[in-house]
Chains A and B, each alone.
Chain A
Amino acid sequence: AQSVTQPDIHITVSEGASLELRCNYSYGATPYLFWYVQSPGQGLQLLLKYFSGDTLVQGIKGFEAEFKRSQSSFNLRKPSVHWSDAAEYFCAVGGRAGNNRKLIWGLGTSLAVNP
């Protein structure tokens, strides 16, 4: 079955600390992978995406993610967190087969940042 797991429901980090948010997926084909961010009172915004090529992808706001096929993971990282990064983060996966472009979503990780 196709699924996305974000093992951490809630994470708290100190401002300036590094961050890694985990995402594991189960998908039968080579996936398209996405990270979205939802800031308080804001809409969902795409942080970064992986389709092919370099497995380390750079996104907006200083975020990056690495696709590891062997581990079925697409973890999101940031070397130094800012207070404005406090938000909900969603991982999503889609497939290349057929015409169905529905994404499968994780349940999200809520990030709190301590000053």
Chain B
Amino acid sequence: GAGVSQSPSNKVTEKGKDVELRCDPISGHTALYWYRQRLGQGLEFLIYFQGNSAPDKSGLPSDRFSAERTGESVSTLTIQRTQQEDSAVYLCASSLGSGDFEQYFGPGTRLTVT
């Protein structure tokens, strides 16, 4: 499979715990995006990585959220001290770093904070 993959598909955690969500982009895609989608809502941009440039973190809702990307491969979104309002589906997408903007989405990680 050459698509974007995310793990885990589902995560249930207790309030106050830290969680790590993983995204494997399509090989060769230099751009990677994280979004949050609350139930019945639209896409909320979180962070954008483009090659070796400094990431665009303008969408991170608080300092409890952080993300890393190793080169042009795997990315990890970390949420520290989770709160119930963090419950959502976290979507990852990747795209080519040049040419068009088409984003290819992974299946998402459903996070439930109890």
Q: Which A residues lie at the B interface, using CB under 8 A?
A: 32, 34, 36, 43-46, 49, 51, 90, 94, 99-103, 105-108
- A103 with B42: in contact, given A43-B108, A44-B91 (CB under 8 Å)? no
CB distance from B62 to the nearest CB of A (A): 20
User: Which chain B residues border A90 with CB–CB below 8 Å?
Assistant: 42-43
> Do residues A99 and B50 form an inter-chain contact, with CB atoms below 8 A?
yes
State which of B19-27, B65-73, B95-103 sits at the interface with chain A: B95-103
Pick the contact of A43 from B31, B101, B106 — CB < 8 Å?
B106
CB distance from A76 to the nearest CB of B (A): 16
Is the C-beta of B48 less than 8 angstroms from some C-beta in chain A? yes
> Do residues B107 and A101 form an inter-chain contact, with CB atoms below 8 A?
no
Pick the contact of A99 from B53, B102, B103 — CB < 8 Å?
B53
Interface footprint category on B: 20 to 34
> Do residues A100 and B42 form an inter-chain contact, with CB atoms below 8 A?
no
CB distance from A41 to the nearest CB of B (A): 9
CB distance from A24 to the nearest CB of B (A): 15
> Do residues B97 and A101 form an inter-chain contact, with CB atoms below 8 A?
yes
- A51 with B33: in contact, given A100-B50, A102-B56, A108-B42 (CB under 8 Å)? no
CB distance from B38 to the nearest CB of A (A): 12
Is the C-beta of B90 less than 8 angstroms from some C-beta in chain A? no
Chain A CB count within 10 A is highest, among B33, B45, B97, B103, for: B103
* A43 CA to B6 CA, complexed, in Å: 11
